[in-house]
Structures are given as structure tokens and as C-alpha cells.
Amino acid sequence: MKHPRELEIEDFNYPLPEERIAKFPLEERDASKLLVYQKGQIQESQYRNIADFLPSPAALVFNNTKVVQARMFFENRNGRKIELFCLEPADLYPDLTVAMSTSETVEWRCLVGGAKKWKEEILIKNFEVDGKTHCLKAEKLEALGGTFLIRFSWDPLELSFAEILDVAGITPLPPYLKRDAEAKDKDRYQTIYAAHDGSVAAPTAGLHFTPKVFETLVTKNIEQLFVTLHVGAGTFKPVQSEKIADHEMHFEFIHVELKALEKIAEYLEAKTPIIPVGTTSMRTLESLYWLGLKVAKNGFEALQQQVEVYQWDPYEMEATLSAVEAIQHLIDGMKTLEMQALITRTQLMIAPGYQHRIVAGIVTNFHQPKSTLLLLIASIVGDEWKDLYNYALEHDFRFLSYGDGALLMF
């Protein structure tokens, strides 16, 4: 097996016709088609039947991040449109949750559409709250490579930045949909269990789950657990280098409650299969192993220094602990330091050659060619990802964020 650094991205390419990209969601979330891959066999069903294909007992792990209305349009003094896409908070905030709850003013890293049309003026956007007109101001502070640091300030002062985005922004649909967001996207580009503001892209594998599906999971003794990874725009960042070694993964914020870690430890001890819903849930779960390894090596104090997972950690660190031991180190450290939640960042790249420590499969959508998300899928099923994607293309499956999905088991 090649080291992931040596993988060539062209080996993870496939033809995706434009008409196979789902531009709009189905009316019923759980009516989406489900490709089931187990023991080398492919079956076809619908999401409303997913419980029929899951082991019992098992645990599904969901990412309960909430998509924020991260795109905003302003006009300069000449009436020309300028788009601000809010990517992540400035470094002065300890984590994304703090930045989102900030009131009065906040600094944010943004993509700027029409940056050349924006001189030194402060942009102003009016919005309504409870029938009253209020004002949002945007000031360009500095250029940061391909992005800009923007200071936002607003009236009324008591509103948080998350609330400001909700009333003044629009849904940040993926660029490959090639259409403007509509009113219904605000609901449909959001999971029904979304709870924590912070993502600029939905954890789309979860879009198919409905209250009825959750009922079927309970009936079959399949537990549900929630973690948080705030999805950044980097999830759409194409791999433009020939070899994976030259691609830099994006960091994303994760937030995992102590109670969730204790449940994960219980599942591992009991050998209950843990199945993440979506690539973001998988990145969160697998990152926990490497965080536990670092805490075991560097002491509980590492948790106070916001220990992080870097892109190549799994391929350069010696995995000296079992999954249970690694998670237990996190639990012990958090209890000692009286921490109720682990809040940090991960840059983890999961690609062929990666040894999964926590998960037993994945529920996922069909991903773009030559993407790091497709690399993650190949880490589970190997070269057979090509057979699965060919099957999906030949059997009218819909692709990408609003498309159909798959249950892939080891």
C-alpha cells in the first residue's frame, strides 16, 4: 500500500455528467435512494429502510452542526454588488462558538466577490427584525492571501453574529449546484437535528434522516449519538496537485461533549459497531483517537493547550494504544481538568492506507471526482469505490449534496 503522500489524484477521477448532479432535493428526505455495500455485495433500497441493513445493536453518530446563512450581498456607493462569504472567525477568538455568539462587532475571514470594486468605504446593508429596519456594516481590514479580514458591526447590538447571519444572509449552496439559493433551501440544506451554528456547508449524509427513520432505528436497538464538526468551505477545495503530498487539508472545528466520549468508550468496550453518518462525523470520530494518543504522550495539560490533529499525524505517529485506551485518556484528562466538552480543530486526512480506529462503516453521499472526500471513501472500500460509483451512475442515482447516498460497511 502506498503512503497517502504518494497517491495520485488522477486515480480518483471518474466521469460525472452534469445531469447526474442533483440540483434540488427530493420532496421527501427519506425517499432518496440508498446503495448498500456489505461483504462485497451491492443492494439497492431507500433511506427510509436503512435500519433493515444495519447491525443490531449498533450506534449511528451524527454531526449536529447547523449551517449558517454565510453569504451576504452588499452594494458599494456606486450601486455595484459585492458578495461576502463568511468562512471562519479571526484568530482572536478561542473557538467558533464564542465567535458566533459575539454581539456588537466581530472579525471574520471572508471570500469577497467583487473585491476590486470595494475601495476603502464601509459597506452598509439594511435588514429587518420584528418589522424594524436595522443596519449591518462591513469594513475591510486586510488581505489574507485569497481572502480578507472583515470587521462586522451592527444594530441592534444585543443580537449575536449567528442571529445577524440568519436575518441578513442567504444559504451558502455548494458552487457545483450552479444556481441561486431559494427560500426552501434554508430548511432543506439543513439536517432536522442541526443544533450548533457554525457550518458553511451541510453534513449532507444527514439530510436524508427524518423522525420516522429515527423511530425505525430505536425499534432495531440502534442508538444515536451526536458530535459536532463545523464544516468549512475547504470541504469543496479541489485537489489541484498531481500527488496528495502537495495538497493541504483544511482545518475544521470539532466539539465533543464528555458524555459523548463516555458513550463512545462504552461502544468500543462492548464491540458495538460505530457508524458515522457522513464524512464529517467520521473525521471527528477518528480524530478523537489521535487526540487521545497525544494526550497520553504529552499529559493532560495538552488539553488546556488545545491539542490538535494535523494532516499527516496518522501516518507519522506510532499508534501505541487501542481505541478504548485512547478515548479513555481523553475522558480521564477532561475529568481531571473539569472539562465538559472537548473543543479543538482537526486537519485529518483520511485516504487509502489509513487504518480506521473507531468506525465500522459509513453512511455517505456520492462525492465529487478528485476530491479528498472520495479519498476517504476509498480508505473504506479500496479500489471497489469505482464499482460502487459505476453502479450508481448506471442505476440512476443522484450525486453530490442533494443527491442519493450509500451505506458502506467494512
Q: Average of pLDDT values for 334-343?
A: 97
Euclidean distance between CA atoms 48 and 61, whole angstroms: 17
User: Which residue did the predictor score with more confidence, 11 or 3?
Assistant: 11
pLDDT at 119: 87
Euclidean distance between CA atoms 74 and 169, whole angstroms: 10
- Please answer whether residues 268 and 323 qualify as being in contact, where contact means their C-beta atoms are separated by less than 8 angstroms: yes
pLDDT digits (tens, 9 = 90+) for 157-215: 899 999 999 999 999 999 899 999 999 999 999 999 999 999 999 999 999 999 999 99
Does 1 have pLDDT greater than 70? no
Does 242 have pLDDT greater than 90? yes
pLDDT at 53: 97
> What single string gives the DSSP state of each residue in 157-200?
TTSBHHHHHHHH-B----GGG-S---TTHHHHTS-TT--EEEES
Computed over every residue of the chain, the mean pLDDT equals 95
Euclidean distance between CA atoms 65 and 228, whole angstroms: 5
Domains of the chain (ranges; CATH) run 4-66+192-409 (3.40.1780.10), 70-169 (no CATH)
Judging by DSSP bridges, how do beta strands 196-199 and 65-67 pair with one another?
Answer: parallel
**Nearby residues of 79 by Cβ (< 8 Å), 6 or more positions away:** none
Which residues share a beta bridge with 110? 86, 148
- Please answer whether residues 23 and 177 qualify as being in contact, where contact means their C-beta atoms are separated by less than 8 angstroms: yes
Q: CA dihedral in degrees (233, 238, 240, 243; nearest 10)?
A: 100
Euclidean distance between CA atoms 18 and 91, whole angstroms: 38
pLDDT digits (tens, 9 = 90+) for 43-60: 999 999 999 999 999 999
User: Which residue did the predictor score with more confidence, 145 or 272?
Assistant: 272
pLDDT at 46: 98
